[in-house]
Structure 1
C-alpha cells in the first residue's frame, strides 16, 4: 500500500532522527594530531548528538609498518611478573600499551594467547571471544575467529572480543547494559592503528558507535575494532619523551596479560 505524502514525510523525519541518534562528534582535543608521525599519544573526547553524553579516551596511535604488537604474560602464580603496568611495559621495551585479554579467577587466561612466540591455551569457542588480534612477520592483523588461519611466525596474539566495528559499522546486538571503562584496539586496515582506554563508563554498544562515527576519536575512519578486557582491568601506558611526561592509567586489580606496542 502506498503512503500519502502527508504520512511519508513524518516517517522519513522519524527515520532520519533515529539514524543520527547514535552519531558521536569530537568536541575538543587536549593533544594535537600526529602530523604524519608513526607513533603519537592523543586524548580525545566525543559527544553523542542525541543526548550530549560524552566519552573520553586515551589513545596510542601507531603505524603498523613501523610498530607491532607485543603480548606481555604476567604469569598465573601468586605474584605477577611485574609489580605494575608501567614497570612491565618499560622492562619489555614497549613504547605504549594497555591491558590485554580476559582471564579466570585463578589468573588462567581465556582463549589462545601468544607471548614472545610461546603459546598458552588453545582456541576457545566462547561467544565472547569472537576475534583475534596478532602480529607476525607481515604486520599486524585483526580478524574474526572463524577467518583466522593459524600459522608459523606469530609472535604476539590475543583471542578476545566482542567485535565492536566491522567494515566501518558498529556490530549489531552488543550489550546496552553495564556501562564501564573499556579497552579496545582499532584499525582502518590501511596501516593505521589505535590502542585505547576510556576514562568514561560506557556500554559496549556505545563504544562501538563512537568508534564507528567517523572522526569522533581518530583522524581516520575505523574499519575494524575489537574489545579487550575492560572494567576494573582497564589500564593504559604511553612512554614520555621530549614531548612530555608518561601517561599511566593503572588497572584497579591484577591482570594476566598486557598488550604492548614495540618498534619493528
Structure 2
C-alpha cells in the first residue's frame, strides 16, 4: 500500500505519518514547502505520477478568524484544492480520506451531532469545510470523511500548549465555559484513520476521544495533570469578542464509528495524560 499524506507538517499529518511508518506502510508526506495544493495542475501531475493507493488529505486553511478576511485563500485550499484532489484520486484509483470539523454545525443543538445531522456552519471556515465534504462525495465513491474537534498534538500550536504557557505566566486566567466538545489527541485520531484505510467501510465518521468538557474544564484538567496551581475563571463567550461565532455544542456522536466496526478512541483525560508525558511535562 502506498499512502500520500497532505499537510505533513501539521499536527495530524505528522502523527499520521508516524502511525503509517510504525506499521511499515509505504508513505510520503507533502506540505506547502513541497508545493502549493492550490496549484491545481501541479497537484494533479504529482498525484498521477505518485499513484497512491490511499490519499489522506490533512491540509486545510484552519485559521478560523483569518478565514473571515481571507475568504478567497480559504476557499481555494478548502474547496478548490480538495475538489481537484478528489478528481485525481478517482482517476488513479486511490481511496481518499478527508479531514473535516465540528465547525460545519451551528452548535445550537442540545444533543450530540450525528453524521447526518443538519449542517449549518456559522463561519467561512465551516462553510468551506462543508463544501469540501460535498465535493468529496460528489467526485469519488471510495472516500472517508472524518470529522473531528478540539485537536492537540506535538507538531504545532494548540490549546494545551497555550494553557501550559499561560499557566506558568499567570496566577489565574479566564476561559470560556459555555462551549463544550471532545478534546482529541492527534495520535489517537491518526491511529483510527490508519485503521480505516485498511477497509472499504466508506462513509462519514465522527472521530474524537471519548467524553466531553468545556474549554474551562479542559484548562482545569491541564493544570491538574501538569501540577500547575493556576486558577481558572469560568466566563461566558460574550466576554471574548470575536469576528467568528463558534459552535457552543461541538459534541460529535460516535455512533457511526461503532456502526463501521472501528475501535473507539480512549477517554480524553487519558489522552491528555499521554500527551503531557510525550512532551515531557509529566512522568509515566
Same fold (TM over 0.5): no
- Considering Cα pairs closer than 8 Å and 6+ residues apart, tell me whether 1 or 2 has the greater RCO: 1
TM-score under structure 2 length normalisation: 0.24
Q: Which has the higher strand share?
A: 1
Q: Which has the higher helix share?
A: 2
TM-score under structure 1 length normalisation: 0.25
